[in-house]
Amino acid sequence: MTRTFFVGGNWKMNGSTAFIEDLSNSFTAASHVSKDTEVVIGAPYVYIPLLTKVLRKDWGVAAENCHSLASGAYTGEVSAEMLKDVGATWVILGHSERRSIFNESDEFVAEKVKKALSVGLKVILCCGELLEEREAGKTQEVVNRQLTAVVKAISESDWENVVIAYEPVWAIGTGKVATPEQAQEVHFEIREFLSHNVSAKVAKETRIIYGGSVTEKNCNEIGKKPDVDGFLVGGASLKPSFIDICNAIA
């Protein structure tokens, strides 16, 4: 089975109506975008309705987070049901910024993954280690711990709607990038983890993408590795040259 290459954009807390319209127009006007790649753009909540209107129709729209409950007295939070109601089809969960800045635990991330899947959203599930954890040789221990919480929360059939994004925290927004060999090593181990803890089928079919200072200049070499099925792109997804990343395997 061939896994469809996947490229996600994560705009984080950036954008405006005018900027999103202009950037989306540049994406639409691109002369060539590989039809062998699935592309999804993650935007701040408030711009999701706009993005569903102006983004090219062959690309998906993601939120950057959601709550684990459907409604309630949680001022400032947004539910998975609300995201689906305004047009999102994907949601990014477990990003290192949510885990470190907002203190989201592995278990809370898993609850949100379960909730999002239950209402029909697909999930980009992020995992990754800090620099000190890598230097201590704990990369796989940390990644496995983060994934174990999700394995316990969802069923085997749910995994067909999950993309795993391995994002070493030390490479996010720093300009540092894991070497193709480092990325491949962790992706291979994640696939082994899925095989032993979910099923061989899930391990074979789940797409595992790399994130961490990905640009149009470094994506081609990383994308050639057998267990790298695409990218989750931060700052570079806010530029017209994001198209070049979408064409990394073309």
Among this protein's residues, is 32 annotated catalytic?
no
Among this protein's residues, is 167 annotated catalytic?
yes
Nearest one of 106, 127, 122 to 172, comparing CA atoms:
127
DSSP single-letter state for residue 236? G
DSSP single-letter state for residue 163? E
- Catalytic, out of 64, 67, 81, 95: 95
Nearest-angstrom CA–CA distance, 54 and 21: 6
Nearest-angstrom CA–CA distance, 248 and 58: 17
Q: How many CA atoms lie within 13 A of 223 on its CB side?
A: 24
Question: Which residues are within 8 A (CB) of 234 and not within 5 positions of it... i.e. 6 or more apart?
Answer: 10, 12, 172, 173, 211, 213, 214
> Where are the strands (E) in 54-172, listed by range?
60-63, 90-93, 122-127, 162-166
Distance from the Cα of residue 73 to its chain's centroid? 28
Nearest one of 57, 28, 22, 53 to 40, comparing CA atoms:
57
Are 163 and 188 in contact by the 8 Å Cβ rule? The answer is no
Question: Which residues are within 8 A (CB) of 75 and not within 5 positions of it... i.e. 6 or more apart?
Answer: none
**Positions marked catalytic:** 95, 167
